[in-house]
Every structure is written in C-alpha cells, then in structure tokens.
Amino acid sequence: MWEIPEIRRWGRIGRHVLSGWQLNGITRFDSGSPFNIVSGRDTNLDGSSNDRPNLTGNPRLSEDRPRDERIAGYFNTAVFVAAPDGFAGNAGRNLLYGPGSMSWTVSFFKTLRLRERRRLQFRSEFFNFFNQVNLNNPNSTLNSANFGRILSAGQARVIQFGLKYGF
C-alpha cells in the first residue's frame, strides 16, 4: 500500500484531484502445478479409468520453444503407451509440471471528505493488470484426441469500480 503524498502545487487541482490517492498491489509468480498422466482406460481392472500408462522415454520438451508450439504439444506424447490389460503403468505421479503464471492485481483508491465524519471513497481494481496470458495445464488423458495440448488459459483482465460511503 502506498499513499501518494499531498500535492500543494497547482492550487485546487493539486489539492482536490491529485491528492488523496492510495495505490495497492499484489504480485504472484507461480512456477507451475504438477499433473498426472492417465491412460483413460481401466488397464489394471480395478474399476477406475484413471490408471497411469507406461513411460518409455523422456517426456520433457525444451522450454525455449515458441508459445504456439508449446500450446500444440506441451510434452512429448510419443513416450506414453497404455499398459497391457491386467497391469498398472509405470509412469509416476505428478510426473510433469504445467506452465508457470504471473498475476498482478492493482487498485487505486481516492478518498473525498464530505463533512467532518463522512467520506466517499472511489475504488478502481484491476485483476491481471497487464493482461498476461496464463496457460492452464495440458490435457493429460492418453486416449484423448487432444492429449498433450493446452486447451485453456486463466482469466483475462478484470476491472471493477466502486464507491464506498463511510459515516
């Protein structure tokens, strides 16, 4: 939180328009969430279709690829194969991490004194202030046509305004 100092220059404009502002901010950086690769079939015959497949190589691809390539194929899908019926796959839990994200939330408040104990506060809040595209985890179901692709992203910029009356 930063309260902007009172401005005494420029007469009424400085005192009433430019003074009394408060700036608030929250920044969050996330390195990515782990996710499981599942076969989408009940290979170990336990009644659940969330069984893991077999891993035959390195599933990680370079992070230096362009964004559109990472969206189309976030990890190496060719190294996953369904386990034979009656067996559990050898792919570990939380084997891969999804894309990282960053979020900036900024708000500006302006408090106006109406009378001795009455105040009106104008509030403007900006969620995802820089409108950063934060990709979600890729599709991780082996028998899906979209296996390995990123199909969604986090929330775009949201702006809200409000008035708060204090007495």
Gyration radius of the chain over CA positions:
26
b/e string for 7-17 if b means 16 or more Cβ within 10 A? eeeeeeeeeee
Total domains present in the chain: 1
- pLDDT for residue 5 is more than 90: no
What H or E segment, with its residue span, contains residue 125?
Answer: strand 119-127
pLDDT confidence band for 19 (50 / 70 / 90): confident
- pLDDT for residue 69 is more than 90: yes
Q: Which DSSP letter does residue 43 get?
A: T
Q: How do residues 142-157 score in pLDDT, each as one tens digit? A: 999 999 999 999 999 9
CA–CA distance, 42 with 89 (Å, rounded to integer): 11
pLDDT confidence band for 14 (50 / 70 / 90): low
Q: What is the pTM of this model?
A: 0.77
- pLDDT for residue 91 is more than 70: yes
* DSSP string across 31-42: ---EE--B-SS-
**Residue 160 pLDDT:** 97
Full residue range of the structural domain in which residue 57 is found: 2-166
- pLDDT for residue 107 is more than 90: yes
Q: How do residues 71-82 score in pLDDT, each as one tens digit? A: 999 999 999 999
Q: CA distances (Å), 37 to each of 9, 34, 58, 64, 144, in order?
A: 62, 10, 13, 23, 11
Average pLDDT estimate for 1-7: 80
What H or E segment, with its residue span, contains residue 166?
Answer: strand 158-166
**Residue 45 pLDDT:** 83
**Residue 130 pLDDT:** 96
Which residues are CB-contacts of 76 (< 8 A; sequence separation ≥ 6)? 57, 58, 59, 60, 61, 148
- pLDDT for residue 122 is more than 90: yes
* DSSP string across 48-83: -S----EE-S-----TTS-HHHHHH-SS-GGGEEPP
